[in-house]
Structure 1
Amino acid sequence: MSETLTINTPDGDFSAYVARPATGDNPPAVVVIQEIFGVNQVMRDICDKLAGEGFLAVCPDLFWRIEPGIDITDKSEAEWKKAFELFNAFDVDAGVADIDATIDAIRPQSSGKVGAVGYCLGGLLAFLTATRTDADASVSYYGVGLEKHVGEAEKLEKPLLLHVAEEDKFVPKEAQQVIFAALKDHPQITLHTYAGRDHAFAREGGEHYDAADAALANGRSLDFFKKTLA
């Protein structure tokens, strides 16, 4: 069952897509953090699948401060151009604040446990959600720009799972080395790499989608949430 949730902040209101599990009262919740294409079908499908696994899934419209209601794909040059314009205009700190507001809004409707999972831009935001909010567990898929924020890991107190594509054209080897050196021995962090995989290997229907490694990563994420949000 899906619906739209309005989230109130001092800066204004924004919407979020919500998918609820068919059965069970007060399920654990997961905030799904968008890529650069907005709250599109890919993000809604992720929410629906999480709901099918018994989670209350919510995907906030983090581009609302720039242009509310962005819902585009990775299928045309014009959409890619629009996506990068949004990415370049996006305020990361404000985005984390909006995720924090989403966590606060959804926690009373949940078991009390709230996790977060993000992809691409959302992968960076998931890492910052782990370090700056009271989320109970976070998962980051191929976070872009994460290497610039690894110092924040000293604030990390809750479990974090990282998925890194070894051939990610948006997270080059030098950036990966910074990430690994800073994070691989952190007691709260589990880090998985995927040999031969490029950026967004878990985006179903995307150019670099790999069904086997997407299933592997998604299975690890699901097991992680079932353990940490129980």
Structure 2
Amino acid sequence: MIIQQEQIDLATAKGPMRTYIYRPAAEGSYATVIFYSEIFQQTAPIARSAAMLAGHGFVVLVPEVFHELNPIGTVLAYDDQGKDKGNRDKFTKPLVDHDADTQAMIDFVQAAPYCSGRVGAMGVCIGGHLAFRAALNPRIGAAACLYATDLHSNTLPAAPSDQTLARAGDVKGELLMIWGRQDPHVPDEDRALINRHLREANCLFSWHEFNGQHAFMRDEGERYDPELALNCYRLSVDLFRRAL
């Protein structure tokens, strides 16, 4: 589908949240996917991923995940300085503030005439975690979580009982969990821990492990695996078409 792009600053308790919108140009109402970025916010690879999803018939919202910690429009570079800043932001922002951001986007979707009201979530890296976190909200019908970091470690700012994996039983929608076996951020034993939590919480989920490194979806850099990325896009699109 031909798509169009725009942006909006959504009001949150912590200030305006720049949100980029990718949606079909054809008139109609479409299911929405909230696409959570890496720690670097909306880089060119993230924008291309959002456009890819929108072209399959979805409204895609890309929020600036650390909007209250950076000037509007901030994009961090894929270098050591950008990584260090992004990681500081990740360990500074409480998870409850991400919850509020998700609710602000859901509220927007309910009022937008081009949205059907059905909402899913997708993300890569910390965005994979945030997509899972979004699925704690009962309005999220499905979430595609790609090499989600920090689920197993319980190290993001939250009370122990409010850590994301501890609340897996609150997920009502369907989860798609995708991992790279060569990802040093979530090694074998930690993936096994996450899998066990999902089973014990009786989550509805599918689980895929591929021979890929961390950030294999990012179409910049030496870790990019184009064929694997296309397979994962297809898995995600199939999930959203079925569940939303």
Residue 209 (str. 1) matches residue 224 (str. 2): yes
The Cα shift of 1:31 comes to 0.7
Runs of 4+ in structure 1 deviating by more than 3 angstroms, as ranges, are: 184-187
The one-letter code sitting in structure 1 at the alignment partner of 2:165 is V
Asked whether the equivalents of residues 100 and 133 of structure 1 are also in contact (C-alpha less than 8 Å), the reply is no
Contact kept, 8 Å, 2:12 with 2:100, in 1: the verdict is: no
1:180 CA drift (Å): 1.6
Instruction: Please state how far the C-alpha of 1:187 moved relative to its aligned partner.
Output: 4.6
How far apart are residue 123 of structure 1 and its match? 0.7
Deviation at 1:91, TM superposition (A): 2.5
**How many residues matched?**
227
Structure 2 gap segments, 5+ residues each = 155-163
Which residue, 59, 62, 68 being the options, matches 1:59?
A: 62
CA offset at residue 56 of structure 1?
A: 0.8
Q: Structure 1 residue 188: deviation in Å? A: 1.3
Superposed displacement of residue 82, structure 1:
2.6
Paired position in structure 1 for 2:121: 116
Q: Percent identical across equivalent pairs? A: 29
Cα distance, 1:93 vs structure 2: 2.3
Task: Say whether residues 1:73 and 2:77 are aligned partners.
Answer: yes
Aligned-partner residue type, residue 167 of structure 1: Q
1:76-115 → structure 2 map (5 Å cutoff): 76-109=79-112, 110-115=115-120
Give the alignment partner of residue 161 of structure 1, picking from 176, 180, 187. 176
Q: Once the 2 structures are TM-superposed, how far is the Cα of residue 24 of structure 1 from its aligned partner? A: 3.5
Of residues 5, 20, 32, the one that matches 2:8 is 5
Report the residue type matching 2:92 in the other structure: A
TM-score normalised over the length of structure 1: 0.91
Q: Residue 190 of structure 2 aligns with which residue?
A: 175
Partner residue of 1:15? 18
- Stretches of structure 1 that go unaligned for 5 or more consecutive residues are none
Supply the distance in 2 between the matched residues of 1:85 and 1:224 (Cα, whole angstroms). 33
Query: Contact 1:202–1:214 at 8 Å: present in 2 too?
Result: yes
Superposed CA RMSD: 1.7
CA deviation profile, 1:32-78 (whole Å, cap 9, x unmatched): 1110101221222122112211111110112111113221232x333
Residue 127 in structure 1 maps to residue 132 in structure 2? yes
Question: What secondary structure, in the 3-state scheme, does the structure 2 residue paired with 1:113 have?
Answer: strand
- Range that drifts further, 30-39 or 169-178: 169-178
* Distance (Å, rounded) in 1 between the aligned partners of 2:233 and 2:150: 22
Q: Do the aligned residues in 1 keep the contact of 2:176 with 2:206 (CA within 8 Å)?
A: yes
